[in-house]
Amino acid sequence: MWAELLPVGRGSASGGYRRYAWTAADGECRAWFEEQAKARALDYEVDRNGNQWAWLGDPAAGDAVVTGSHLDSVPDGGAFDGPLGVVSAFAALDELRGRGARFTRPLGIVNFGDEEGARFGLACVGSRLTAGTLTPDQAHRLTDGDGVTLPRAMEAAGYDPDALGPDPERLARIGAFVELHVEQGRALDLSGDRIGVASAIRPHGRWRFDFRGEANHAGTTRLADRRDPMLPYAETVLAARREAALAGAVATFGKIAVEPNGVNAVPSLVRGWLDSRAVDQESLDSVVGAVESAAREYAAAHGVDLDVVRESFTPVVEFDHVLRDELARILGTDTGLTVPVLGTGAGHDAGILSGSIPTAMLFVRNPTGVSHSPAEFAAEDDCVAGVRALADVLEGLACKEPARG
Ligand SMILES: [Zn+2]
């Protein structure tokens, strides 16, 4: 399965993947999913939002156990983010059939559409529409960099954009959703574990810092006469790093705009964007609060005005504790694995669905810790351990009794 997917949408120059929603590369991945479902005699369907499903047993019976992830990618993404969860889902089913497992609950495998949001700028479109947190109107207005709207893109790929909308009946049939994903950090590498269970998705947000001073000649303006916004900005970048380190959080100024942006001019405006994420709301508030008050002090010292605007915010997502503990119990008792419970700073479909149904995530070790880059990696042994862990979890949740002796 891995070898079949590997060449799809891969750039020859970067070695990274460009599998954007509703493009030809995405279509190839989706055709692959349909083939895998049919090769296993699963019931295949596409829901109103373009998400693909493969069923063993009748989902109408309810209380289904679903696993899966996404097949699309960020620009020049790695091979594992998304596809590892879908390939592992099919492989875990094969493993369970090999064990002679007897299913007592319907089992579903899903590929959520447009998870990364690389084309239309909004992540998790397929799961947000299904959960009803994105309205069809909002989805219809999404437009890519070439001016193509989401409805036109879906039509071109052979789907009906008028069907988009919430799918509460579908969600009501699902008793548990478990997403396996490559870890997007080094916690497992550092702890020496192959597999982890997610506890929560950390709260995160973006803040815009506008430092306004006075444009002037870089050669003739005495240092003492300047109101240079670059100086408090630079000090604020360092403060963000310091405050994040103190709080065990992360804070990044990764984007900046300067006016007039001339090499021989003292700037009039420096606009920097802060992205920060922390274990909980309290530490996030305290990091951003400390960065902001430091920035105000530095700005005042340089005669510069400062405005801070919060541009986006996503609160903490706590995964279902009962399901999380059940996963840790199944993996702990059945395999003797130590299963660390980890928080993550990245968003996922499982996080979106956690508001509607019990969800959980399994992480597979990524020794580079790198994600959203061709350098993202997981060793074959660890991927196999991930498949076994997922199979154990599905067996524990969806089968009458363990078939293994
Ligand atoms: Zn992902």
The series of mean pLDDT values per 10 residues for the chain, 405 residues long, is 95 92 97 98 98 97 97 94 98 97 97 93 92 96 94 97 97 97 93 90 92 97 97 98 96 95 97 93 96 98 97 86 89 66 85 94 94 93 96 92 50
Q: Are 75 and 116 in contact (CB under 8 A)?
A: no
pLDDT at site 230: 98
Whether the ω angle into residue 402 lies within 30 degrees of 0, i.e. cis, is no
Identify the CATH number of the domain defined by range 204-314.
3.30.70.360
pLDDT at site 402: 52
77 CA distance to ligand 1 middle (Å): 10
76 CA distance to ligand 1 middle (Å): 14
91 CA distance to ligand 1 middle (Å): 18
Q: Are 340 and 331 in contact (CB under 8 A)?
A: no
Backbone angles phi, psi at 369, to 5 degrees: 70, -10
User: Rounded distance, CA 290 to CA 226, Å?
Assistant: 26
User: Rounded distance, CA 93 to CA 96, Å?
Assistant: 5
* Residue-range domain boundaries for the chain: 2-202+316-398, 204-314
316 CA distance to ligand 1 middle (Å): 18
Ion ligand 1: protein residues whose beta carbon lies under 5 Å: 81-82
Q: DSSP state, 286?
A: H
Could you please report the per-residue DSSP string of 197-251? EEEEEPPEEEEEEEEE---EETTTS-GGG---THHHHHHHHHHHHHHHHHHT-EE
Residue 248 half-sphere exposure toward CB, CA atoms < 13 A = 8
Q: What is the assigned CATH class of domain 2-202+316-398?
A: alpha beta
pLDDT at site 403: 47
Residue 137: what residue type?
D
Tokens of 126: 């397929």
Instruction: Outline where DSSP puts E strands in 315-358.
Output: 317-318, 341-344
